[in-house]
Structure 1
Amino acid sequence: MGVFKKLFQQTFIYGLATVLPRALAIVLVPLYTAVLAPSAFGIYATLMSYIILGNVLLSYGMETAFFRFINKHAAQKKTVEATALTSLTATAISFLICTLLFREQIANTIAFKVEYVTYALLILVLDALVILPFAWFRANERPRRYAIIKILNVCINLGCNLFFFLVLPRLVTNTSENFWSTIYTQENKVVYVFISNVIASGATLLMLLPLYVKIGFGFNKKLWKQMLKYAFPVLVAGVAFSINEAFDKIMLKYLLPENVAEAEVGVYAACYKLGVFMTLFATAFRLGIEPFFFNHAKEANAKTTYATITKYFSIFGSVILLVVIVYIDIFKKILISDSEYWVALSIVPIILLANLCLGIYHNLSVWYKVTDRTRFGAYISIVGALLTLGLNFTLIPLMSYMGSAIATLAAYGTMMVLSYFFGRKYYPVPYDLKKIGGYLVLSVTFSAIAFYGFDGNLIIGTALLLVFLLLVFLLEKKDLKRIMNR
């Protein structure tokens, strides 16, 4: 099978496995916004932001180090696998014990109920315990196994949410006490979101336990230190990246007046979900591409291949940007039925463009991963995090959630540009900047015309989308035929 065909096949399977969990978040938005007030949705969104940061801390770059070391030290593959698994398992269990002992203090510090914090800690640790097994599937090119378990996780999570929000209220009678009434709450429904996540994460770990046996526990101290040294910049970059991804919701909660903060976070987070279409595409692509980058780094035409991949990522991303903007009035009615949340729709174009910049950044970041200069990933992400924190702190009091959206775009756009210029110095890749830039500018221009100029007019928007697609077809048809025939 040709290099590109194999890449696209694996990207599709990984994409399916990645899109479905994130698509679950989209599918559940109509349910959550129908039964939860914006303030309750804000509680969910803020705590999930903390979980994003916690996931990075509990993985501490070991997943990326795992990919690098099983390729760099092929003779020690089993040792690398066992050492990584032991390290992640030990730190996850230690973290759970320590944080459960101090969960009341943690809850008081971040101003949440102890119950919510407990569930969040359980989700964090259960997710940390499946990092290495899922990485093992990717490293050993077993995308179908990876996808099946991810899909089952989605089904369990969805089933639990549907039960708690739709079925359970029907099982509770107003006239007499029964078993179901003991677990039902009318005032605190957001807790069911966290319970559903705990159940799904726990079931996923159970499905992956046989892989624990297959890999086995073992520990090579010298190798572990080398892996940590490689992983540390990835951890720093991950923390900085989680700040870029999640701290807007957290800062909105604490920088806005207390009486409106959670509701503002709620409407912002709900409309932010409309930007998830770009995130789904970028994440799926990254999961398929990361092992590919490492596996093909030594090939003679590697740089040309990377350039081609980045160009087509930019094209597909530009199409997604334009599609979502053109049909945003349709998407909002499907995904956010309660018009109370629509006040924040103005952030969607900005968030979509920000996520496209982030996706391009991930493609450009190949240079520091294959040259073992991961510290540059940390430097770039730190710059993005500082921009996120600084701009949110400055703009939220003035512009509320619009300030957060602008900060997100500024951070991801800056990271994209910095990665390109550093990469040009240390690992020059012949990117087709004219075409990439041309597609991006045209997509953004058409999106602005459709959204701001014609206020979402479907006829005008569809015409602009068709023009864009026609131009892409005319300019790329020869290259596409050549790639598919390899």
Structure 2
Amino acid sequence: MSIKSLAGQTIYYGFSNIASKLLNYFLTPLYLELMTQAAYGEMSTVYAYVPFMNIVLTYGMETAFFRFAKKENSRSVLSVSTLSLLFTTIGITILLLLLRGPVINSYVGALGGLKGHPGFYTAVVMIMAFDALTAIPFAQLRLENRPVRYAIIRISGILTTIGFNVFFLVLVPKLRAAGWHWLPLVDKDDQVGFIYLSNMLGSAVTLLLFLPQLLRIKWEFDRKLWRQMLNYAVPLIIVGMAGMVNETFDRAWFLPEFLPGNDMEIKKQLIGIYAANYKLAILITMFIQAFKLGAEPFFFKQAEGVNPQKLYARIMKLFVVLLCFMFLFVSLYLNVWKIFLRKPVYYPGMKIVPVLLLANMFLGIYYNLTIWFKLTDRTSTGAIITIITAIMAFLLNWWWIPRMGYFGAALATMVCYFIQMTVCYSLGQKYYPVPYHLPRIITYIITAVLTYYCFDFLNRKLLSPDDIYALKPLSLIVATLLFGAYIWFMLKMEKKEFARLPFIGKFVSRI
């Protein structure tokens, strides 16, 4: 399995991931149009907690599945991991439903708009349960190199979610106005609930599509194997939980807690602005997720070969090159991407987007680096790394948010991911040395950042303050010239590397 095959896998996973994310992202303008800033902030707060529970519900079993699944025992590993998740998901789901009252009446429930809406809470719990039960089936498709089926199922679930969102939020009000009074009433207070319901139905359809695959599993439970997998996986819970502190806790707790003032409605509005602009970093996030989906099983398989470190180093360099392209593609054309924000009230938050793009670059590199502790079974070391950065996240958000508002949260995210990446690299070179092309990687990242800030400087000089976020031809011309110059620079620097790649090799050889 070569870089070419990894590229193919990433393209397939990327297509399904990008298609599903973009389809889902097209709902954002609809939400921003129909909902108030406060309501959107409430929903963003709830969804910020969902990844934490997903980590608890899956407890690293997906990665353990890749680590332990070999040709000779893949059936046993599949059976053990699936049964383990099935029983724990049922148990935790029942517990969460029994705790519905205390949770929706808590501070978090009030902040997320769940108070007085127990149905909202139930729908969110079921979303998490359905997603947990599909974790291993999706992992099985990745291990067996079946990206087409993976894409079909992933996109089917998203299309279902979108279909029900459009039905409940757009069609139902129009049909009721036309006299179809038997349809459910969707007023302003219930919109979020119907969004949760739509997502729950999408997750349920995804699980149903996996039913034939689940029924073919040989239901045997090897306790010894389960204990081995659990010992490997449990530290990954800490890795995931601490990582989520950086990734989602800014919306879930840091901003609500540390933003100055006591007016909860204003805080919700600011969180809504922050969350809406956070989504403008979606392109780079989608690529990272697509790469992660293809690379994790690829790295584990390559580890069985001779000198895989050389291949890992080459992959890292190409990965960073693509991340730099995407960083500039989004940051230089922000005045185009802002169309997704719909309302000018969200535009002031656009200043956080380049910072979050850079943060996600560091996060993507970190994901690439984590293979060393997964291959050497040092998952506990990975847990320590993420705990350190989680503590840093708390301290930096506590320090910066009261002084800089939501920009402080974005800056803290970037700094924490940088520290996490740096520590992971340093320890990785000690326990599992990989000859990464560090000088070039650093050069490419710094050059990309300087290119953006050169554009930002020129943009502010050429345009009046009122036009900074306006779609002006002069700004687009400057952005395109700088983007083209960076592409030319990168093609010159990596001419031999790109010449070896399919599709673009012939073009690069002529430069």
Out of 383, 387, 392, the position equivalent to 1:382 is 387
Contact 1:58–1:88 (Cα < 8 Å) also in 2 = yes
Please list every run of 5 or more consecutive structure 1 residues that lacks an aligned counterpart in the other structure.
Answer: none
Q: C-alpha distance in 2, partners of 1:168/1:225? A: 50
1:438-480 deviation digits (Å, cap 9, x = unpaired): 1100000011121344246222221111110001111212122
AA matched with 2:358: L
Name which of 119, 123, 135 aligns with 2:139: 135
Q: What is the aligned partner in structure 1 of residue 281 from structure 2? A: 275
Deviation for aligned residue 1:225:
0.8
Question: 3-state SS of the aligned residue for 2:210?
Answer: helix
Query: Which among 412, 417, 426 is matched to residue 407 of structure 1?
Result: 412
Contact kept in structure 2, 1:446 and 1:464, CA below 8 Å:
yes
The residue aligned with 1:467 is 485
Q: Which residue of 1 aligns with 2:56?
A: 57
Cα deviation for residue 398 of structure 1 reads 2.0
Match of 1:148 in 2: 152
Match of 2:375 among 340, 363, 370: 370
* C-alpha distance in structure 1 between counterparts of 2:454 and 2:29, whole Å: 28
What amino acid sits opposite 2:27 in the alignment? L
Q: Which residue of 2 aligns with 1:8?
A: 7
Q: Pick from 303, 307, 311: which aligns with 1:301?
A: 307
In the TM superposition, what whole-angstrom CA distance separates every residue of 1:244-264 from its partner, at most 9, and x where no partner exists?
111000121233331311111
2:170 to 166, 170, 181: 166
**Secondary structure in 2 matching 1:86:** helix
Per-residue Cα deviation, 1:405-445 (whole angstroms, up to 9, x for no partner): 01100111111111111111111111111111111000000
Distance between the aligned counterparts of 2:483 and 2:16, measured in 1? 28
SS of the aligned residue for 1:179 comes to: coil
CA deviation map 1:284-332 (0-9, x unaligned): 1111111110000132231111011000110110011111111100110
Could you tell me whether the CA contact under 8 Å between 1:46 and 1:253 is conserved in 2?
A: no
Asked whether the 8 Å contact 1:22–1:280 carries over to 2, the reply is: yes
CA contact (8 A) 2:85 2:133 kept: yes
Question: C-alpha separation between the residues in 1 aligned to 2:24 and 2:385?
Answer: 29
Equivalent residues of 2:35, 2:188 under 8 A apart: no
Q: Deviations over 1:372-427 (max 9, x none)?
A: 11122111111221111221222222222111101100111111111111111111
2:361 equivalent to 1:347: no
Distance in 2 separating the partners of 1:55 and 1:198: 14
Secondary structure (helix, strand or coil) at the match of 2:306 reads coil
Residue 123 of structure 2 corresponds to: 119
2:410 partner amino acid: A
Q: Which residue of structure 1 lines up, in the alignment, with residue 99 of structure 2?
A: 102
CA distance in structure 2 between the partners assigned to 1:282 and 1:84 by the alignment? 25
- Opposite residue 153 of structure 1, the aligned amino acid is G
How far does residue 483 in structure 1 lie from its aligned partner after superposition?
4.5
Give the TM-score normalised by the residue count of structure 1.
0.95
Aligned to 2:192: 190
- Partner of 1:190, secondary structure, is helix
State the SS of the aligned residue for 1:184: coil
For residues 352-371 of structure 1, what are the alpha-carbon distances to aligned partners after superposition, in whole Å with 9 as ceiling and x for unaligned?
00000000111111211111
Q: Which whole-Å CA distance do the structure 1 matches of 2:185 and 2:90 have between them?
A: 28
Q: Are the counterparts in 2 of residues 274 and 331 from structure 1 also a CA contact under 8 Å?
A: yes
- Give the corresponding residue for 2:430: 425
2:494 aligned with 1:476: yes
Which residue identity lines up with residue 105 of structure 2 in the other structure?
N
Instruction: Tell me, yes or no, if the aligned pair for 1:20 and 1:154 is still in contact at 8 Å.
Output: no
CA distance in 2, matches of 1:401, 1:186: 27
In 2: Cα distance, 1:53 partner to 1:349 partner: 25
CA distance in 2, matches of 1:122, 1:136: 22
1:234 maps to 2:236: yes
Specify the code of the residue in structure 2 equivalent to 1:116: F
Residue 76 (structure 2) aligns with: 79
Superposed displacement of residue 120, structure 1: 1.1
Contact 1:92 1:128 in 2 (8 A): yes
- Amino acid of the residue matched to residue 320 of structure 2? S
Q: Which amino acid aligns with 2:182?
A: F
Residue type at the aligned position of 1:418: V
CA gap 1:453/1:25 in 2 versus in 1, 3 angstroms: farther
TM-score (norm 2): 0.91
Aligned residues of 1:325 and 1:451 also touching (Cα < 8 A): no
- Return the match for 1:250 from 237, 252, 258: 252
Query: Does the CA contact (< 8 Å) of 1:244 and 1:388 recur in 2?
Result: yes
Cα distance in 1 for residues equivalent to 2:186 and 2:280? 31
String of CA shifts for 1:38-91, please: whole Å, max 9, x gaps. 1111011100011011111101000000110113xx432211111110100101
Matching of residue 442 in structure 1 with residue 447 in structure 2? yes
Is the CA contact 2:24–2:158 (under 8 Å) kept in the aligned structure 1? Answer: no
Deviation at 1:217, TM superposition (A): 2.6
Q: What amino acid sits opposite 1:70 in the alignment? A: A
Letter in 2 for 1:308: R
Secondary structure of the structure 1 residue equivalent to 2:153: helix
Q: Does the 8 Å CA contact 2:38/2:265 hold for their aligned counterparts?
A: no
- Contact 1:172-1:184 at 8 Å conserved across structures: no
Alignment partner, residue 68 of structure 1? 67
Alpha-carbon distance between aligned partners in 1 of 2:197 and 2:257, rounded to the nearest angstrom = 25
2:366–2:420 Cα contact (<8 Å) kept: yes
Q: Percent of counterpart pairs with the same letter?
A: 37
CA distance in 1, matches of 2:218, 2:104: 36
Asked if structure 2 preserves the Cα contact closer than 8 Å seen for 1:325 and 1:450, the reply is: no
**Which consecutive residues of structure 2, in runs of 5 or more, have no partner in the other structure?**
461-467, 469-474, 506-511
What is the root-mean-square deviation of aligned Cα atoms in Å?
1.5
Q: Structure 2: which amino acid aligns with 1:241?
A: G
**Larger RCO: 1 or 2 (CA < 8 Å, sep 6+):** 1
- Structure 2 vs 1, CA of residues 452 and 37 (structure 1 numbering), >3 Å: closer, same or farther? farther
Question: What is the CA-CA distance between 1:22 and the residue it aligns to?
Answer: 2.2
Question: 2:218 & 2:267 partners in 1: Cα distance?
Answer: 47
Runs of 4+, deviation exceeding 4 Å: none
Q: Comparing 185-194 with 458-467, which one deviates more in the overlay?
A: 185-194
Assess if the C-alpha contact under 8 Å between 1:347 and 1:402 holds in 2: yes
Q: Tell me if structure 2 keeps the 8 A contact 1:56–1:235.
A: yes
